[in-house]
Amino acid sequence: MTTVDMGPGVMAGPNARTPMSGGPGWHGMRLMRLAGHPDTVAAGVVSLRVFNTGALTHEVVVLPLSAGQSAGERPAGPSGRVDEAGSLGDVSRSCAAGAGDGTGITSGATGWTTVTLQPGRYELVTSTLAVSVALCAGVTAAPAAASPAVTGTAIPALQQQTRTNLAQAMRGEAFANVSYTLFAAQAQREGRPAVADLFRKAAAVELGEHFTQEAAPSGLVGGNEANLTDAISGEGYESTTMYPTFARQARAAGDTAAADLFTEIAKDEAAHQAAYKAALTALRSGKGAIPAPPAVTPVTVTAGQPKVTSAQTRANLDTAMHGEALAHAKYTLYAQRAQQSGNAALARLFTAVSDVELQEHFSGEAALAGSVGTTSHNLATAIAGETYESKTMYPTFAQQAKTAGDTAAATLFQHNATDEADHAQAFQTARKSLG
Q: pLDDT 10s per residue in the chain (435 long)?
A: 444 445 444 333 333 333 323 333 323 333 344 555 566 767 776 767 676 555 456 778 888 887 777 666 666 554 456 677 777 777 776 555 545 555 677 655 566 677 777 788 877 777 543 322 233 344 455 443 332 222 334 445 789 999 999 999 999 999 999 999 999 999 999 999 999 999 999 999 999 999 999 999 998 999 999 999 999 999 999 999 999 999 999 999 999 999 999 999 999 999 999 999 999 999 999 999 999 999 999 999 999 999 999 999 999 999 999 999 999 999 999 999 999 999 999 999 999 999 999 999 999 999 999 999 999 999 999 999 999 999 999 999 999 999 999 999 999 999 999 999 999 999 999 999 997
Nearest to 182 by CA among 297, 301, 296: 301
Nearest to 362 by CA among 332, 321, 302, 331: 321
Report whether 356 contacts 298 (CB < 8 A). no
Total Cβ atoms within 10 A of residue 312: 14
* Model pTM score: 0.67
Half-sphere exposure in the Cβ direction for 126 (13 Å, CA): 32
The residues near 32 (Cβ < 8 Å, ≥ 6 apart) are 8, 9, 10, 11, 16, 18, 20, 21, 54, 128, 133, 135
Report whether 249 contacts 352 (CB < 8 A). no
Confidence at residue 11, expressed as pLDDT on a 0 to 100 scale: 33
Cα 349 to chain centroid, rounded: 17
DSSP per-residue letters across 124-152 = EEEEESSS--EEEEEEEEE-TTSPPPPP-
Nearest to 160 by CA among 32, 340, 327: 32
CATH pick for 2-157 out of 2.60.40.10, 2.60.40.420, 3.40.190.290, 2.30.30.40: 2.60.40.420
Confidence at residue 18, expressed as pLDDT on a 0 to 100 scale: 31
Nearest to 54 by CA among 108, 9, 7, 92: 9
* Main-chain phi, psi angles of 148, to 5 degrees: -55, 140
Report whether 412 contacts 169 (CB < 8 A). no
Q: Beta-strand (E) ranges in 214-315?
A: none
Report whether 333 contacts 212 (CB < 8 A). yes
CATH architecture assigned to 161-379: Up-down Bundle (1.20)
What distance in Å separates the CA atoms of residue 315 and residue 375, rounded to the nearest whole number? 24
Confidence at residue 6, expressed as pLDDT on a 0 to 100 scale: 52
What distance in Å separates the CA atoms of residue 155 and residue 220, rounded to the nearest whole number? 9
∠ CA 259-265-270, nearest 5°, is 130
Domain boundaries, the chain: 2-157, 161-379
Half-sphere exposure in the Cβ direction for 418 (13 Å, CA): 5
What distance in Å separates the CA atoms of residue 108 and residue 162, rounded to the nearest whole number? 12
